[in-house]
Chain A
Amino acid sequence: MTSIAAAARARLDFTQLARTWELLMLLTARDVKLRYQGTVLGLLWTLAKPLFLAMVLYFALNRVLGITVADAPYHLFLLSALFPWGWFQSSIQFSAPSFANNAALLKKVYFPRFVLPLSVVTNQLVHFVLSIPILMLLLVISGRHPGPEWLLGVPLLIAIQLLLLAGAVLVVASFDVFLRDLEHLVEVLLNLWFYLTPILYPLSRVPHSVKPFLLINPMTSLIEAWRDLFLKNQLPSADIWPALVFTAVTLVAGALVFKTLEDRFEDAL
């Protein structure tokens, strides 16, 4: 009974899809430009921030505590996981308020609203992609050579993580409209999640009693896959299944939550 039978909504045809895509690209380009507007170093900050974090961690964990890993120098081990994790964490954290903060726009123009949180993910993706050459450079300096596997592996893992994030940010951003505490809660949970994912330490060092918990963590399999690719030139194996399951679940959940809550946005915004 309460369906809006607007012809435009019914025909999700190609032109509609193309426009949504263009909108996503325009928003992403604008926000990438905006982020470092007025700064001297500009996009270099994108690369500098995780590098500084890595330096601190490297100093504390490797130099002070003496943690080493078998397969690679510790700084490469760290960065090969920190860069993809950074994309994951900042996407969810920054997209959480993307509906709530755009109330003025959402109340005045109708458009495919899901592009708002998605544009945060693609914006962060741009920064992640720019960090890959840095990683390549550091690998080469340490006498390692990125192989042709990267040409398939990088787009494949990006696609998986992009879809995973698309679902997750839709869930978080939609609920955040009604409960703004969520954006703070998410920030805290992401920090916990960071330590529950083998980023600072290798999975092999995790005690057997806790290991199953880490293996259920979908980010474990994804981060391990990134690391295998970056450090060993290995394409993702079947071990990545938890990430794939999680991706499927978040996509369905994201679509359902967004579709259900979208009609109630106007009451809360």
Chain B
Amino acid sequence: MKTPSNDEDAIVLQGVSKRYFLQSQRAGEIKTALLHLLTFLRASRGKQPFWALKDLSLSISRGESVGVIGPNGAGKSTLLRIVARLAPPTKGKVTVRGRVSPLLELGAGFHDQVTGRDNAILNAVLLGLSRREAQERMPEIIDFSELGEFIDQPMRTYSSGMYVRLGFAVAVHVKPEILLIDEVLAVGDAEFQQKCFDHIEKLRQERVTIVLVTHDLESVKRFCDRAVLLEHGSIVTQGAPQAAVDEYLARVFPHATAGSEP
């Protein structure tokens, strides 16, 4: 692990902590609502804090693909959201170099009444392309999503499979420099899944930085150069995927012989 950041690092987290407040109740009536607003503005005092990430430092080099594993609630998704700038860190410093394409939820922001094409272009612009670039990539996106003529139909007519196919196609065709993947590969039929994996592998060859959060340990071993094991918001261990996965399994199943696979 390189602590001083250099230009080859795509993502650098230095001492990052993220605090959430439990029981953040929604505004009910005016009185509680006003109190609610005040507590928000005053850094939410009086509520029970929950540290999703604790003083976490991590550097990811350009072109590296890193798997993040760990039990539920370990802070894996929070880590991804912080890199995607969706969650500001409570403490610490985050440096991200390059265009980030977050695959947190496919088709976020798609509007049902609008055609697939218009949605795809808007989504691509949301992810940072210019309108012209988005239009230029449309043939590839249509081809990859296998939507054919359906691309010009309103998305309310789409099946859920068509929906996620278009979402994935847009997300991987916006020329991302950093791809953040959170358990979204469990979509579509087996054939489309394979296509997604193949495409991610292709992006990897093109030196796109990839951060993969998943419970699928096999895909970590297959895709990642390095694996990071998180627990209770801290890094337990990191290194070769096989070693990290073994460590994880050894912690989950303490009685099994270390190194063996389930």
A109/B27 contact (C-beta < 8 A), A5-B94, A267-B40 known: no
Contacts of B102 in A (CB 8 A): 108-110
A6 beta carbon closer than 8 Å to chain B: yes
Q: From A9, A19, A106, A180, give the contact of B130 (CB < 8 A).
A: A19
A1/B93 contact (C-beta < 8 A), A105-B109, A263-B88, A267-B24 known: yes
Contacts of B89 in A (CB 8 A): 2, 4
Contacts of A109 in B (CB 8 A): 86, 102, 108-109, 126-127
CB closest residue in chain A, given B11: A6
* Interface 9-residue window, one of A22-30, A66-74, A207-215: A22-30
Q: How far is the CB of A101 from chain B (nearest CB, A)?
A: 12
Q: From A1, A4, A15, A175, give the contact of B85 (CB < 8 A).
A: A4
A266 beta carbon closer than 8 Å to chain B: yes
Is B27 within 8 A of A266, CB to CB?
A: no
Give CA–CA (A108, B102) in the complex, Å. Answer: 7
Is A30 within 8 A of B86, CB to CB?
A: no
Contacts of A26 in B (CB 8 A): 121-122, 125, 131
A104 beta carbon closer than 8 Å to chain B: yes
Give CA–CA (A175, B34) in the complex, Å. Answer: 12
B210 beta carbon closer than 8 Å to chain A: no
Chain B interface, number of residues (Cβ within 8 angstroms) = 47
CB closest residue in chain B, given A5: B95
Give CA–CA (A33, B105) in the complex, Å. Answer: 26
Contacts of A27 in B (CB 8 A): 122
Q: How far is the CB of A124 from chain B (nearest CB, A)?
A: 19
Contacts of A5 in B (CB 8 A): 93-95
Give CA–CA (A98, B114) in the complex, Å. Answer: 18
Per-residue A-contact encoding for B29-43, CB less than 8 Å = 1, 0 else: 010011011001000
Is A34 within 8 A of B88, CB to CB?
A: no
Is A179 within 8 A of B111, CB to CB?
A: no
CB closest residue in chain B, given A37: B113
Give CA–CA (A175, B87) in the complex, Å. Answer: 18
Is B96 within 8 A of A108, CB to CB?
A: no
A179/B93 contact (C-beta < 8 A), A105-B109, A108-B108, A266-B87 known: no
Is B114 within 8 A of A1, CB to CB?
A: no
A22/B131 contact (C-beta < 8 A), A2-B88, A7-B97 known: yes
Give CA–CA (A33, B40) in the complex, Å. Answer: 37
Contacts of B21 in A (CB 8 A): 267
Give CA–CA (A181, B93) in the complex, Å. Answer: 35
Give CA–CA (A127, B99) in the complex, Å. Answer: 35
Q: Quick one: which of A219-262 are within 8 Å of B by CB?
A: none
B72 beta carbon closer than 8 Å to chain A: no
Is A6 within 8 A of B95, CB to CB?
A: yes
Give CA–CA (A137, B37) in the complex, Å. Answer: 49
A179/B27 contact (C-beta < 8 A), A5-B95, A26-B121, A267-B40 known: yes
A266/B86 contact (C-beta < 8 A), A7-B96, A108-B109 known: yes
A-B contact pairs, 23 of them (CB 8 A): A4-B89, A4-B96, A6-B95, A6-B96, A6-B97, A19-B129, A22-B125, A23-B122, A34-B111, A104-B108, A105-B109, A105-B126, A108-B104, A108-B108, A109-B108, A109-B127, A111-B126, A111-B128, A178-B27, A178-B40, A180-B27, A267-B40, A268-B40
Given contacts A23-B122, A105-B126, A180-B27, 6 further A-B contacts (CB under 8 A): A8-B99, A19-B125, A107-B104, A109-B126, A263-B88, A268-B40
